[in-house]
């Protein structure tokens, strides 16, 4: 992605997930599919908001069930302050009401953890970040 000054900068992603193993799995998928992407992690909502304020990513992978904060409400807060950030909700709760709420609160996409697959993540990320170079 080109900055206003014309220089190329790395795209950044943030994984907001309290399950260490799942967070690492998503990181590995992203690193494999997009080796030039800078990837950060947060296990709690407050930590995620701090990281976003310091270095806003272009893309966030958001769990719904987080300690101390609901990922859907966190999505709403993030989109209010950073409307250009793309948010993909990843959850164990593949329920219509959650899908509708995620979109209503500003998420760009909703993926069930049970159906998570490399190809879907790659396709979704590329559709949300067209400037992303393809490996």
Of 57, 71, 130, the closest CA to residue 99 belongs to 71
Q: Determine the pLDDT at residue 64.
A: 94
Taking only the tens place, the pLDDT of each residue in 56-107 is 999 999 999 998 889 999 999 999 999 999 999 998 888 899 999 999 999 9
What domain range is 34 assigned to? 12-128
Specify if 100 maps to a domain. Answer: yes
Specify if 67 maps to a domain. Answer: yes
Of 16, 18, 15, the closest CA to residue 28 belongs to 15
Specify if 74 maps to a domain. Answer: yes
Of 96, 37, 27, the closest CA to residue 61 belongs to 27
Specify if 24 maps to a domain. Answer: yes
3 state DSSP class of 107: coil
Output the pTM of the full model: 0.88
Beta-strand runs (E) in the chain: 12-16, 38-42, 59-63, 65-66, 69-70, 86-91, 109-112
3 state DSSP class of 60: strand
Domain containing residue 90: CATH number: 3.40.50.2300
Specify if 40 maps to a domain. Answer: yes
What total number of domains does the chain contain? Answer: 1
Specify if 3 maps to a domain. Answer: no
119-38-82 Cα angle (round to 5): 90
């Amino acid at each position: 992605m080109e900055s206003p000054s014309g220089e190329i900068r790395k795209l950044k992603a943030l994984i907001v997930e309290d399950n260490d193993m799942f967070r690492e799995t998503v990181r590995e998928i992203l690193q494999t599919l997009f080796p030039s992407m800078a990837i950060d992690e947060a296990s709690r909502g407050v930590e995620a908001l701090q990281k976003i304020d310091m270095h806003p990513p272009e893309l966030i992978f958001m769990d719904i069930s987080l300690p101390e904060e609901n990922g859907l409400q966190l999505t709403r807060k993030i989109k209010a302050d950073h409307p250009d950030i793309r948010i993909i909700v990843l959850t164990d709760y593949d329920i219509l009401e959650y899908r509708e709420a995620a979109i209503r609160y500003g998420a760009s996409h909703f993926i069930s953890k049970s159906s998570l697959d490399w190809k879907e993540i790659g396709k979704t990320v590329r559709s949300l970040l067209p400037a992303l170079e393809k490996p």
